[in-house]
Structure 1
Protein backbone atom coordinates (compact mmCIF):
# COMPACT_ATOMS: atom_id res chain seq x y z
CA UNK A 1 0.00 0.00 0.00
CA UNK A 2 1.29 3.41 -0.93
CA UNK A 3 1.45 5.92 1.89
CA UNK A 4 0.21 9.06 0.18
CA UNK A 5 -1.73 10.83 2.92
CA UNK A 6 -1.70 11.20 6.67
CA UNK A 7 -4.74 8.89 6.70
CA UNK A 8 -2.59 6.22 5.02
CA UNK A 9 0.16 6.66 7.61
CA UNK A 10 -2.42 6.57 10.39
CA UNK A 11 -3.92 3.31 9.12
CA UNK A 12 -0.47 1.75 8.66
CA UNK A 13 0.56 2.68 12.18
CA UNK A 14 -2.70 1.44 13.70
CA UNK A 15 -1.93 -1.95 12.18
CA UNK A 16 1.69 -1.80 13.32
CA UNK A 17 0.74 -1.06 16.92
CA UNK A 18 -1.96 -3.75 16.89
CA UNK A 19 0.73 -6.20 15.79
CA UNK A 20 3.17 -4.92 18.41
CA UNK A 21 0.61 -5.28 21.18
CA UNK A 22 -0.43 -8.73 20.01
CA UNK A 23 3.18 -9.92 19.98
CA UNK A 24 3.96 -8.47 23.41
CA UNK A 25 0.90 -9.92 25.13
CA UNK A 26 2.17 -13.49 25.49
CA UNK A 27 5.68 -12.55 26.60
CA UNK A 28 4.36 -10.20 29.28
CA UNK A 29 2.45 -13.11 30.78
CA UNK A 30 5.61 -15.21 30.70
CA UNK A 31 7.57 -12.43 32.38
CA UNK A 32 4.88 -12.23 35.07
CA UNK A 33 5.22 -15.94 35.78
CA UNK A 34 9.02 -15.64 35.89
CA UNK A 35 8.98 -12.75 38.39
CA UNK A 36 9.72 -13.56 42.01
CA UNK A 37 8.63 -10.18 43.42
CA UNK A 38 4.89 -10.27 44.13
CA UNK A 39 4.27 -6.62 43.25
CA UNK A 40 6.16 -7.07 39.98
CA UNK A 41 4.21 -10.19 39.07
CA UNK A 42 0.91 -8.44 39.80
CA UNK A 43 1.96 -5.37 37.80
CA UNK A 44 2.81 -7.57 34.82
CA UNK A 45 -0.60 -9.24 35.01
CA UNK A 46 -2.16 -5.78 35.07
CA UNK A 47 0.08 -4.82 32.16
CA UNK A 48 -1.14 -7.80 30.15
CA UNK A 49 -4.72 -6.71 30.82
CA UNK A 50 -3.86 -3.21 29.61
CA UNK A 51 -2.27 -4.62 26.46
CA UNK A 52 -5.45 -6.62 25.79
CA UNK A 53 -7.52 -3.46 26.19
CA UNK A 54 -5.21 -1.67 23.75
CA UNK A 55 -5.57 -4.48 21.23
CA UNK A 56 -9.36 -4.19 21.49
CA UNK A 57 -9.31 -0.39 21.20
CA UNK A 58 -7.12 -0.47 18.09
CA UNK A 59 -9.31 -3.18 16.53
CA UNK A 60 -12.40 -1.02 17.17
CA UNK A 61 -10.71 1.99 15.58
CA UNK A 62 -9.62 -0.10 12.58
CA UNK A 63 -13.19 -1.34 12.14
CA UNK A 64 -14.49 2.23 11.96
CA UNK A 65 -12.01 2.87 9.13
CA UNK A 66 -12.82 -0.38 7.29
CA UNK A 67 -9.29 -1.73 7.67
CA UNK A 68 -8.14 -5.00 9.18
CA UNK A 69 -6.01 -4.58 12.29
CA UNK A 70 -3.73 -7.45 11.28
CA UNK A 71 -2.50 -5.86 8.05
CA UNK A 72 1.07 -5.31 9.28
CA UNK A 73 3.74 -7.28 11.15
CA UNK A 74 5.74 -5.17 13.59
CA UNK A 75 9.41 -6.08 13.23
CA UNK A 76 10.34 -3.68 16.03
CA UNK A 77 8.30 -5.53 18.64
CA UNK A 78 9.42 -8.85 17.19
CA UNK A 79 12.96 -7.84 18.10
CA UNK A 80 11.99 -6.63 21.57
CA UNK A 81 10.17 -9.90 22.29
CA UNK A 82 13.23 -11.86 21.15
CA UNK A 83 15.37 -9.73 23.47
CA UNK A 84 13.07 -10.40 26.42
CA UNK A 85 13.22 -14.13 25.76
CA UNK A 86 17.01 -14.09 25.44
CA UNK A 87 17.67 -11.85 28.44
CA UNK A 88 15.04 -13.21 30.83
CA UNK A 89 13.52 -16.53 29.92
CA UNK A 90 16.61 -18.16 28.37
CA UNK A 91 19.20 -16.59 30.67
CA UNK A 92 20.62 -18.00 33.90
CA UNK A 93 20.38 -15.97 37.07
CA UNK A 94 21.98 -16.69 40.42
CA UNK A 95 19.58 -14.38 42.24
CA UNK A 96 15.82 -13.98 41.62
CA UNK A 97 16.04 -10.24 42.32
CA UNK A 98 18.52 -9.86 39.47
CA UNK A 99 16.05 -11.63 37.16
CA UNK A 100 13.32 -9.26 38.39
CA UNK A 101 15.51 -6.25 37.55
CA UNK A 102 16.03 -7.65 34.04
CA UNK A 103 12.29 -8.31 33.69
CA UNK A 104 11.58 -4.66 34.43
CA UNK A 105 14.23 -3.60 31.91
CA UNK A 106 12.80 -5.71 29.12
CA UNK A 107 9.19 -4.83 29.92
CA UNK A 108 9.91 -1.12 29.93
CA UNK A 109 11.60 -1.35 26.54
CA UNK A 110 8.43 -2.86 25.12
CA UNK A 111 6.29 -0.28 26.91
CA UNK A 112 8.34 2.58 25.51
CA UNK A 113 7.73 1.26 21.99
CA UNK A 114 4.00 1.31 22.75
CA UNK A 115 4.23 4.83 24.21
CA UNK A 116 5.81 6.08 20.99
CA UNK A 117 3.16 4.31 18.92
CA UNK A 118 0.20 5.60 20.90
CA UNK A 119 1.66 9.12 21.02
CA UNK A 120 2.09 9.25 17.24
CA UNK A 121 -1.35 7.78 16.61
CA UNK A 122 -2.92 10.31 18.98
CA UNK A 123 -1.17 13.18 17.18
CA UNK A 124 -2.38 11.85 13.81
CA UNK A 125 -5.95 11.37 15.08
CA UNK A 126 -5.99 14.91 16.48
CA UNK A 127 -4.64 16.40 13.23
CA UNK A 128 -7.21 14.41 11.24
CA UNK A 129 -9.95 15.55 13.66
CA UNK A 130 -10.87 11.98 14.55
CA UNK A 131 -12.10 12.86 18.02
CA UNK A 132 -13.56 9.46 18.84
CA UNK A 133 -10.30 7.77 17.89
CA UNK A 134 -8.36 10.38 19.82
CA UNK A 135 -10.28 9.73 23.02
CA UNK A 136 -9.61 5.97 22.79
CA UNK A 137 -5.95 6.49 21.97
CA UNK A 138 -5.53 9.00 24.81
CA UNK A 139 -6.91 6.42 27.25
CA UNK A 140 -4.49 3.79 25.92
CA UNK A 141 -1.60 6.24 26.16
CA UNK A 142 -2.51 7.18 29.73
CA UNK A 143 -2.79 3.53 30.76
CA UNK A 144 0.55 2.73 29.18
CA UNK A 145 2.22 5.65 30.98
CA UNK A 146 0.73 4.39 34.25
CA UNK A 147 2.20 0.94 33.65
CA UNK A 148 5.61 2.42 32.93
CA UNK A 149 5.50 4.53 36.10
CA UNK A 150 4.47 1.46 38.13
CA UNK A 151 7.50 -0.47 36.88
CA UNK A 152 9.82 2.41 37.73
CA UNK A 153 8.31 2.57 41.20
CA UNK A 154 8.73 -1.18 41.75
CA UNK A 155 12.34 -0.97 40.60
CA UNK A 156 13.33 2.06 42.62
CA UNK A 157 11.00 2.22 45.62
CA UNK A 158 9.72 -1.34 45.82
CA UNK A 159 13.17 -2.67 46.36
CA UNK A 160 13.84 -4.81 43.27
CA UNK A 161 16.94 -2.84 42.32
CA UNK A 162 18.11 -2.63 45.94
CA UNK A 163 17.76 -6.39 46.34
CA UNK A 164 19.49 -7.02 43.00
CA UNK A 165 22.43 -4.83 44.04
Structure 2
Protein backbone atom coordinates (compact mmCIF):
# COMPACT_ATOMS: atom_id res chain seq x y z
CA UNK A 1 0.00 0.00 0.00
CA UNK A 2 1.28 3.41 -0.90
CA UNK A 3 1.05 5.77 2.05
CA UNK A 4 -0.30 9.13 0.93
CA UNK A 5 -2.23 10.42 3.94
CA UNK A 6 -2.20 10.27 7.72
CA UNK A 7 -5.11 7.83 7.47
CA UNK A 8 -2.98 5.56 5.28
CA UNK A 9 -0.15 5.78 7.80
CA UNK A 10 -2.59 5.07 10.64
CA UNK A 11 -3.84 1.92 8.91
CA UNK A 12 -0.25 0.85 8.21
CA UNK A 13 0.59 1.29 11.89
CA UNK A 14 -2.44 -0.75 12.93
CA UNK A 15 -1.39 -3.53 10.55
CA UNK A 16 2.10 -3.42 12.02
CA UNK A 17 0.66 -3.69 15.55
CA UNK A 18 -1.49 -6.63 14.49
CA UNK A 19 1.53 -8.43 13.05
CA UNK A 20 3.63 -7.60 16.11
CA UNK A 21 0.94 -8.95 18.41
CA UNK A 22 0.63 -12.14 16.40
CA UNK A 23 4.36 -12.77 16.67
CA UNK A 24 4.46 -11.77 20.34
CA UNK A 25 1.57 -14.10 21.15
CA UNK A 26 3.39 -17.13 19.75
CA UNK A 27 6.64 -16.43 21.59
CA UNK A 28 4.84 -15.49 24.83
CA UNK A 29 3.29 -18.95 24.83
CA UNK A 30 6.79 -20.41 24.39
CA UNK A 31 8.13 -18.24 27.20
CA UNK A 32 5.28 -19.51 29.39
CA UNK A 33 6.19 -23.12 28.61
CA UNK A 34 9.85 -22.41 29.45
CA UNK A 35 9.24 -20.49 32.69
CA UNK A 36 9.39 -22.26 36.06
CA UNK A 37 8.12 -19.65 38.54
CA UNK A 38 4.42 -20.14 39.20
CA UNK A 39 3.80 -16.38 39.39
CA UNK A 40 5.72 -15.83 36.17
CA UNK A 41 3.81 -18.57 34.37
CA UNK A 42 0.52 -17.03 35.51
CA UNK A 43 1.61 -13.55 34.40
CA UNK A 44 2.70 -14.92 31.01
CA UNK A 45 -0.58 -16.79 30.55
CA UNK A 46 -2.47 -13.60 31.36
CA UNK A 47 -0.13 -11.68 29.05
CA UNK A 48 -0.89 -14.07 26.18
CA UNK A 49 -4.60 -13.60 26.79
CA UNK A 50 -4.15 -9.81 26.78
CA UNK A 51 -2.15 -9.92 23.56
CA UNK A 52 -4.87 -12.03 21.95
CA UNK A 53 -7.56 -9.57 23.05
CA UNK A 54 -5.48 -6.67 21.72
CA UNK A 55 -5.14 -8.45 18.39
CA UNK A 56 -8.92 -8.80 18.12
CA UNK A 57 -9.43 -5.13 18.97
CA UNK A 58 -6.86 -3.99 16.39
CA UNK A 59 -8.24 -6.39 13.77
CA UNK A 60 -11.65 -4.78 14.21
CA UNK A 61 -10.21 -1.29 13.83
CA UNK A 62 -8.41 -2.29 10.63
CA UNK A 63 -11.47 -3.96 9.15
CA UNK A 64 -13.55 -0.88 10.00
CA UNK A 65 -11.16 1.02 7.70
CA UNK A 66 -11.73 -1.54 4.89
CA UNK A 67 -8.19 -2.88 5.14
CA UNK A 68 -6.59 -6.30 5.57
CA UNK A 69 -5.17 -6.93 9.06
CA UNK A 70 -2.47 -9.22 7.62
CA UNK A 71 -1.17 -6.81 4.97
CA UNK A 72 1.94 -5.90 6.98
CA UNK A 73 4.77 -7.90 8.59
CA UNK A 74 6.43 -6.30 11.60
CA UNK A 75 10.20 -6.64 11.26
CA UNK A 76 10.78 -4.94 14.62
CA UNK A 77 8.88 -7.62 16.53
CA UNK A 78 10.53 -10.27 14.39
CA UNK A 79 13.86 -9.15 15.85
CA UNK A 80 12.51 -9.10 19.40
CA UNK A 81 11.13 -12.61 18.95
CA UNK A 82 14.53 -13.82 17.73
CA UNK A 83 16.10 -12.22 20.80
CA UNK A 84 13.57 -13.88 23.13
CA UNK A 85 14.34 -17.26 21.62
CA UNK A 86 18.11 -16.72 21.68
CA UNK A 87 18.31 -15.24 25.19
CA UNK A 88 15.56 -17.08 27.06
CA UNK A 89 13.93 -20.04 25.32
CA UNK A 90 16.94 -21.64 23.61
CA UNK A 91 19.67 -20.02 25.70
CA UNK A 92 22.21 -22.15 27.55
CA UNK A 93 21.22 -20.97 31.03
CA UNK A 94 22.01 -23.47 33.77
CA UNK A 95 19.90 -21.97 36.57
CA UNK A 96 16.12 -21.93 36.22
CA UNK A 97 15.74 -18.69 38.21
CA UNK A 98 18.26 -16.91 36.00
CA UNK A 99 16.32 -18.20 32.97
CA UNK A 100 13.10 -16.83 34.49
CA UNK A 101 14.79 -13.44 34.94
CA UNK A 102 15.81 -13.53 31.28
CA UNK A 103 12.25 -14.45 30.26
CA UNK A 104 10.96 -11.37 32.06
CA UNK A 105 13.55 -9.15 30.37
CA UNK A 106 12.61 -10.45 26.93
CA UNK A 107 8.88 -10.18 27.58
CA UNK A 108 9.25 -6.60 28.76
CA UNK A 109 11.19 -5.63 25.65
CA UNK A 110 8.27 -6.86 23.55
CA UNK A 111 5.78 -5.06 25.81
CA UNK A 112 7.66 -1.78 25.46
CA UNK A 113 7.64 -2.14 21.68
CA UNK A 114 3.88 -2.73 21.81
CA UNK A 115 3.38 0.33 24.03
CA UNK A 116 5.22 2.48 21.50
CA UNK A 117 2.99 1.19 18.70
CA UNK A 118 -0.22 1.68 20.64
CA UNK A 119 0.83 5.17 21.72
CA UNK A 120 1.64 6.25 18.18
CA UNK A 121 -1.57 4.80 16.75
CA UNK A 122 -3.59 6.48 19.52
CA UNK A 123 -2.06 9.85 18.65
CA UNK A 124 -2.87 9.35 14.96
CA UNK A 125 -6.46 8.30 15.73
CA UNK A 126 -6.94 11.36 17.92
CA UNK A 127 -5.56 13.70 15.25
CA UNK A 128 -7.81 12.08 12.62
CA UNK A 129 -10.89 12.47 14.82
CA UNK A 130 -11.35 8.70 15.16
CA UNK A 131 -12.45 9.02 18.76
CA UNK A 132 -13.78 5.47 19.11
CA UNK A 133 -10.54 4.05 17.70
CA UNK A 134 -8.51 6.24 20.04
CA UNK A 135 -10.47 5.00 23.05
CA UNK A 136 -9.92 1.37 22.02
CA UNK A 137 -6.21 1.94 21.48
CA UNK A 138 -5.85 3.72 24.83
CA UNK A 139 -7.36 0.65 26.53
CA UNK A 140 -4.94 -1.61 24.65
CA UNK A 141 -2.06 0.64 25.68
CA UNK A 142 -3.15 0.65 29.31
CA UNK A 143 -3.59 -3.13 29.35
CA UNK A 144 -0.10 -3.58 27.91
CA UNK A 145 1.33 -1.12 30.43
CA UNK A 146 -0.41 -2.97 33.28
CA UNK A 147 1.10 -6.25 32.10
CA UNK A 148 4.53 -4.66 32.03
CA UNK A 149 4.11 -3.32 35.58
CA UNK A 150 2.94 -6.73 36.73
CA UNK A 151 6.01 -8.36 35.19
CA UNK A 152 8.23 -5.89 37.05
CA UNK A 153 6.45 -6.88 40.24
CA UNK A 154 7.13 -10.58 39.62
CA UNK A 155 10.77 -9.79 38.92
CA UNK A 156 11.27 -7.64 42.02
CA UNK A 157 9.25 -9.72 44.48
CA UNK A 158 10.53 -13.14 43.51
CA UNK A 159 12.45 -13.94 40.37
CA UNK A 160 15.39 -11.56 40.66
CA UNK A 161 15.91 -12.50 44.33
CA UNK A 162 15.98 -16.16 43.43
CA UNK A 163 18.27 -15.52 40.47
CA UNK A 164 20.66 -13.62 42.74
CA UNK A 165 21.02 -16.75 44.87
CA UNK A 166 22.21 -18.78 41.89
TM-score between the two structures when normalised by the length of structure 1:
0.97
The SS at the match of 1:159 is helix
Q: Deviations over 1:16-67 (max 9, x none)?
A: 0100000111110110111111000000000000000011001100111000
Take 1:24 and 1:76, find their aligned partners in 2: how far apart are those partners? Answer: 11
Aligned-residue RMSD, C-alpha = 0.7
Q: Which residue of the partner structure matches residue 154 of structure 2?
A: 154
For these two proteins, the number of residue pairs brought into alignment is 164
Q: Which moved more, 1:1-10 or 1:123-132?
A: 1-10
Q: Please, which runs of 5 or more residues in structure 1 have no aligned partner?
A: none
> Superposed, which structure 2 residues align to 1:64-103 within 5 Å?
64-103=64-103
Aligned-residue offset at 1:91: 1.0
Take 1:103 and 1:89, find their aligned partners in 2: how far apart are those partners? Answer: 8
Q: Deviations over 1:112-158 (max 9, x none)?
A: 000000000000111111011111111100100000000111111x2
Q: Which residue of the partner structure matches residue 22 of structure 2?
A: 22
Take 1:71 and 1:94, find their aligned partners in 2: how far apart are those partners? Answer: 41
Take 2:26 and 2:51, find their aligned partners in 1: how far apart are those partners? Answer: 10
Q: Which moved more, 1:59-68 or 1:1-10?
A: 1-10
Q: Which residue of the partner structure matches residue 162 of structure 2?
A: 163
> Superposed, which structure 2 residues align to 1:10-49 within 5 Å?
10-49=10-49
Q: Which residue of the partner structure matches residue 118 of structure 2?
A: 118
> Superposed, which structure 2 residues align to 1:135-150 within 5 Å?
135-150=135-150
Aligned-residue offset at 1:2: 2.2
The SS at the match of 2:129 is coil
Take 1:50 and 1:4, find their aligned partners in 2: how far apart are those partners? Answer: 32
Take 1:28 and 1:113, find their aligned partners in 2: how far apart are those partners? Answer: 14
TM-score between the two structures when normalised by the length of structure 2:
0.97
